[in-house]
Amino acid sequence: MDEYGNSGEGRATRRDEAVRAAVEQGLLGPDSPIVGLLDVTGIRESAAELRAAFAEVTAPGTPVLHAFAVKATPLVPVLRLLREEGIGAEVASPGELALARAAGLSPAETVLDSPAKTPAELREALALGIAVNADNPQELDRIDGLVRSAVSRSPLGIRVNPQVGGGSIGATSTATATSKFGVALRDEGAREWVVRAYLDRPWLSRLHAHTGSQGIPLPLMAQGVAETYALAEEINRRIGRPQIDTIDIGGGLPVNFASDVTAPTYAEYARALREAVPGLFDGRYGLVTEFGRSLLAKHGTIVARVEYTKSAGGRAVAVTHAGVQVATRTVYVPGSWPLRITAYDGKGRPKSGPEVVQDVAGPACFAGDLLAEGRALPLLDQGDYAAALDTGAYYFAHHYAYNSLARPGIYGFVPDHAGGVRFATVRDPQTLASIVAESGGAHAGALTTLHAPGSR
């Protein structure tokens, strides 16, 4: 195992201990049949690994802001923990900005990147001094107006799409020819438009691209960053001074969902970037990164109780409390987003025994609500637990309210001094009263009191 636990052994041990302790301590049981668990030790390790990886490849004194993509795990305590580890926030909506502010992040630690910023959002960001990357010419027009009308400390840039191509998953490929994000650099006239935008605006000091994502190979990511760097160099050359002083390389490092091993690592990515784009690291540019999934995915686990087991058409089926509401992508697009499942017994101990091909089903009322189909696992029994691994990003923090299923409680954990596990509540389980309130409970009569002319 290396310094950061990238072989994943420590992580797997901590996870097993946490599941057992969650059952022992009553966080998990017949009356609370699903939880999300967050490995605080692992999150700290990944944050430290990210910082060290870029510190190793950048010239001494280079300003580097690692801004966590809040959309990956939009939970205030997670943002606060990352902040303590020296990680800022990349936000893409008023809600995400509110979460970052609630976590105590300062404007200087925050970057705003949404593709659909309203005039009010832009005004607020510039008033606060938050960095903004304009997505398109119309947005830049709006920013022009704001810059003319008030002084702002916000570092401002433009997001470009180098159009280097997509990866194996269409929905998360940001750098295809027709991606909706940023200014499409290879389109006719676009590059010249970008250069002119900087020539005309001495206050534009950043350039942004986010080309990576799950399913994208490292060389393609490095190519996207290389093309962004080349554009910054061209712009500064044409202007005759280093007007662009910071390059935001986005996030998108893929995550290994097949085992506990962290691969690729931040260190590998940083070295691949330095190899492909040495000039980016020689100290002339500050850097911003926006990693999301790779910081949190491997540190989250969904654990769900097996309510019933049955057999259908010769297939063993375990009906659990985790399905589409917490693993939406996996349930709807299982081929692109398979999750590892581990089996625990009713006391939360890893289950052994011969593997049996079975379906691990969720609680929602449609046939396709399967966490895993035809998976070989020790046979799950009623009262056992099934855990969906690597779900710390884009899973239990992204509840989908199908069947009005409640958002599960989320708990962070660390080992304690006595060989046990300590938990802290990150998010309370959703109450039924809250479900009713969020479903128009305060407006129960709203539609029956609304009559069209001539109707009863």
Residues that bind ligand PLP (CB under 6 A): 69, 71-72, 90, 92, 113, 210, 213, 250-253, 290-294
Half-sphere exposure of 257 (CA within 13 A, CB side): 24
Which residue is listed with tokens 């830049």?
140
The residue with its CB nearest to ligand PLP is 292
Indicate the residue among 249 and 318 with the shorter CB distance to ligand PLP.
249
| CB 172, min distance to ligand PLP, A | 7
Q: Are 246 and 63 in contact (CB under 8 A)?
A: yes
Indicate the residue among 50 and 277 with the shorter CB distance to ligand PLP.
50
Decide: residue 316, CB within 10 A, 0-12 exposed, 13-18 middle, 19+ buried. middle
| CB 92, min distance to ligand PLP, A | 6
> Which stretches does DSSP call E strand in 186-230?
204-208
Indicate the residue among 33 and 36 with the shorter CB distance to ligand PLP.
36
Bridge-based pairing of strands 110-112 and 355-361 is unpaired
Indicate the residue among 36 and 250 with the shorter CB distance to ligand PLP.
250
The two structure tokens encoding residue 377:
């696992």
Indicate the residue among 107 and 292 with the shorter CB distance to ligand PLP.
292
| CB 327, min distance to ligand PLP, A | 16
| CB 164, min distance to ligand PLP, A | 16
| CB 293, min distance to ligand PLP, A | 4
CA distance 385 to 377: 12
Half-sphere exposure of 97 (CA within 13 A, CB side): 20
Indicate the residue among 253 and 319 with the shorter CB distance to ligand PLP.
253
Indicate the residue among 396 and 423 with the shorter CB distance to ligand PLP.
396
Indicate the residue among 69 and 146 with the shorter CB distance to ligand PLP.
69
CA distance 428 to 298: 22
| CB 71, min distance to ligand PLP, A | 5
Backbone φ and ψ for 159, nearest 5 degrees, come out as: -90, 130
Task: Give, as one character, the DSSP assignment of residue 161.
Answer: E
Contacts made by residues 150-153, CB under 8 angstroms, sequence distance 24+: 150/126, 152/126, 152/127, 153/107, 153/129
| CB 60, min distance to ligand PLP, A | 27
Q: Tell me: cis bond preceding 264? Omega within 30 of 0 counts.
A: yes
| CB 173, min distance to ligand PLP, A | 11
Count of CB atoms within 10 A of residue 275's CB?
A: 10
The two structure tokens encoding residue 222:
């490095």
The residue among 96, 85, 116, 62 whose CA lies nearest residue 299 is 85
